[in-house]
A and B are shown apart, each in its own frame.
Chain A
Amino acid sequence: MTGVEGYMYPNEIRLYWSVLIVLYPYITGLVAGAFILASLERIFRVEAVKPTYRLALLTAMAFLLDAPLPLLFHLGHPERAWEMYFTPHKTSAMAMFGYVYLWYLMAVLTFEIWLDYRRDIVLRSQQTKGILRVIYKIMTLGSSNISERALNIDERVGWLVTLIGIPSAFLLHGYVGFIFGSLKSNPWWDSPLMPVVFIFSAMVSGIAAVMLFYMLLTKMRHKTIDMRCVDAIAMYMFYIFIIDFSLEMLDLVHRIYEANESFRSLNFLVHTKLYFSQIILQILIGTITPLVLLFITQVVKLPEIARKRMYTVSGILALIGIFAMRWNVVIGGQLFSKSFLGYTSYKIHLVTREGLLVALGLTMLPLIFLWILLKLLPPWEDEGAHAPAAGD
């Protein structure tokens, strides 16, 4: 059998969870992370990050719409997906998650975005023409009340929704870690730390993504980047990254110290097949390098342009590193035999249903969603709906 070294049980030779299952926690992680960044402004009243508040919400929305697609492609038969909602199995974490997903999509994100944009939507429904006007009219739900008091109430309700949203975001992503962490058959995954590590790495990736989007979009609009905002975001990213890294190291040290029966096999894996993606990509390039860069920006007073570059580089590296982490968890966990006597390998195909092209397409899709959302609901304060509508 090609790609097999040593002894594999017959059902272990082929990997069942492909690159799409790597993508899935990555994307839900971006959702949860972006939402947590938005909640910083809303709940924790971090005024500095205000310019990214709406962008963070739209980013979360764009990625949330994309999140179930990798699963549907992986499983096939999308027409059966509804059965999970219609006849859920109460002992299935996956089935229960379907409801968490819907709850998060509708009750948290859509509602919060709607509340926050209601004033803009109403104004636009009066200023635009044609099909856009119809779309905005529908989005107002037939209410054009944007009196002072109504908006005030929206503000308070929005706060409450965000408050509920934080545990929901944790649940949404913690569950993904839970699915892996609760598999007692697989020593690479079986760890109660898994959901926690997933949540913190999710926050890092979501914050990094929103920061990069903010800088990129501001550049594209020829506006000046609000450095106070980016500095604050980078600071939070740094702190959360440290927690994330410590947790992952705690997991690692625990495994090394415990050195249970799987240790020799897993240790060999990390030093051979996973060496590049784990040691080089995830830890050195994707974690230590951005941490050092962010650390420098925190302790040395650097000029603006240098900070911007360092933030950009560390943001991109963090995104790569966290993708590598998902890869190492999902793919790494399937490369060794439960007999601890052999290893298989994963070869990604190009144009199959779970191949590279589909994976790339599903990674690009949220950017298209985001672009549409940005057109429909511009998040920028400096071109709000009070400006003449012709500009849009």
Chain B
Amino acid sequence: MNGFKDIEHLFRFAGLFVIAILVFLVVRGFIVPKSFGEYGHYRAAAIPQIAALPLHYAGHQACISCHSDIQAVKSKGMHAGVNCEACHGALEKHVLDPINVVPVKLNTAVLCVRCHAASAAKPKSFPQVNAAEHANGIACETCHNPHSPAIDAGGTK
């Protein structure tokens, strides 16, 4: 009994540790979301939450169901692989109500250089121009049809 008396304080310190670990586990139980780790290192319940968010993009299929004329032009040109909404922006609202929600007119001086401005970091095979020299202030769609931009392909408006 006497032997324990002299190490009793060590147990007090150890007790502090045990309490700290218990508090940690309890707090962890409250803080960590229930569905954490179900599929991976994240909260599984986040998936339905995100899925329930309002849509902004309608998707290519939606556009071509009404604008098949544009798709017919586009699918033959160099922009075949570029999604409608990559240029026109998110248009779910327009799809739901095409008459009242009309997409805004695009400004090609801003739009086209977003992808085609010359930069050494882009692969050489990607078509790129120095807009100031190439267009000299004239709007791109004056010469290029945005939906089928190659000039020699006869896409000129």
Binding site for B on A (CB under 8 A): 7, 9-10, 82, 85-87, 89, 106-107, 111, 114, 118, 141-143, 145, 147, 149-150, 153, 157
A153 touches B13 (CB 8 A): no
CB contacts (< 8 Å) of B37 on chain A: these are 87
A145 touches B10 (CB 8 A): no
A244 to B27, CA, bound (A): 43
Partner of A82, one of B5, B31, B120, B121: B31
A149 to B28, CA, bound (A): 40
Partner of B13, one of A86, A87, A89, A114: A114
Chain B, 12-51, contact with A by CB distance < 8 Å: what is the 0/1 string?
1100110010001001100110001100010000000000
Task: List 20 contacting pairs A-B, 8 Å CB cutoff, sorted by A.
Answer: A82-B31, A85-B24, A85-B28, A86-B27, A86-B31, A87-B37, A89-B41, A106-B17, A107-B17, A114-B13, A141-B16, A143-B8, A143-B9, A145-B6, A150-B6, A150-B7, A153-B6, A153-B7, A153-B10, A157-B10
B120 touches A7 (CB 8 A): yes
CB contacts (< 8 Å) of A150 on chain B: these are 5-7, 9
CB contacts (< 8 Å) of B8 on chain A: these are 143, 145
For residue B5, which residue of chain A has the nearest CB? A145
A46 CB, min distance to chain B CBs, angstroms: 27
CB contacts (< 8 Å) of A153 on chain B: these are 6-7, 10
CB contacts (< 8 Å) of B5 on chain A: these are 145, 150
A145 to B37, CA, bound (A): 47
For residue B2, which residue of chain A has the nearest CB? A149
A269 to B13, CA, bound (A): 52
CB contacts (< 8 Å) of A118 on chain B: these are 9
CB contacts (< 8 Å) of B9 on chain A: these are 118, 141, 143, 145, 150
CB contacts (< 8 Å) of A147 on chain B: these are 6
Chain A interface helix/strand/loop/mixed: helix
* Chain B residues within 8 Å of chain A by Cβ, number: 21
A96 CB, min distance to chain B CBs, angstroms: 14
A143 to B121, CA, bound (A): 69
A141 to B28, CA, bound (A): 26
A141 touches B121 (CB 8 A): no
B36 touches A87 (CB 8 A): yes
A121 CB, min distance to chain B CBs, angstroms: 11
For residue A107, which residue of chain B has the nearest CB? B17
CB contacts (< 8 Å) of A145 on chain B: these are 5-6, 8-9
User: A87-B41, A106-B20, A150-B7 known; A142 and B12 CB under 8 Å?
Assistant: yes
A111 to B13, CA, bound (A): 8
CB contacts (< 8 Å) of A149 on chain B: these are 6
B128 CB, min distance to chain A CBs, angstroms: 15
Chain B, 114-126, contact with A by CB distance < 8 Å: what is the 0/1 string?
0000001100000
B33 CB, min distance to chain A CBs, angstroms: 9
Kindly name the residue among B9, B37, B41 whose own CB sees the greatest number of chain A CB atoms within 10 A: B9
B121 touches A9 (CB 8 A): yes
CB contacts (< 8 Å) of A143 on chain B: these are 8-9, 12
A10 touches B121 (CB 8 A): yes
The 5 closest A-B pairs by CB, nearest first: A143-B9, A150-B6, A141-B12, A149-B6, A86-B28
CB contacts (< 8 Å) of A82 on chain B: these are 31
Partner of A141, one of B6, B13, B32, B41: B13
A135 CB, min distance to chain B CBs, angstroms: 16
